[in-house]
Copies of this chain bind each other. A is one copy, B any other.
């Protein structure tokens, strides 16, 4: 299976996450933006993710709530900005447990001979915020999400072919 790559240059504000998926771009975009599918890949498998809001349009709000097995809930939200289906998604990201800290994500989808390369550029308000997020276990969580995403793509292609 393709690996998720992380680029974290010391002293910069960004984390760049890339992954190549064995699926056409339209399908990858659909799995990114369909609320019924997002709850099946977003976050670690041991948590349950509930999509509270997901208005994929400029100015629209998204909000996901994660529930862990102990009964705790963690909520995240942001705002979609000017996008360009199926090439680009831009949105902000906040964890409600840490108000005032916002990051900006730009997801680009490039089709390469039936595969799709996804590049997610996340920029933080400061280098300290970036380092803190990266050290908080974001890498493992993100890898797991991307693996779940790839599995879901296989299922979606199988269903589409049936």
Contact partner of A79 (CB less than 8 A), chosen from B11, B92, B99, is: B92
Contacts of A13 in B (CB 8 A): 12-14, 123
Tell me the minimal C-beta distance from A33 to chain B in angstroms: 17
Stretch at the interface among A21-29, A82-90, A110-118, A142-150: A82-90
Q: Are A102 and B82 in contact (CB under 8 A)?
A: yes
Interface size class of A (residues with CB under 8 A): 20 to 34
Q: In A86-133, which residues have CB < 8 Å from any B CB?
A: 88, 90, 92, 94, 99-100, 102-104, 106, 121, 123-127
A81 at the interface (CB under 8 A from B): yes
> Which residue, A11, A59, A88, A125, has most C-beta atoms of chain B within 10 A?
A125
Is residue A61 within 8 Å, beta carbon to beta carbon, of the partner chain? Answer: yes
Residues of B within 8 A of A125 (CB): 104, 106, 121, 123
Residues in A lying within 8 Å of B, measured CB to CB: 11-14, 59, 61, 79, 81-82, 84, 88, 90, 92, 94, 99-100, 102-104, 106, 121, 123-127
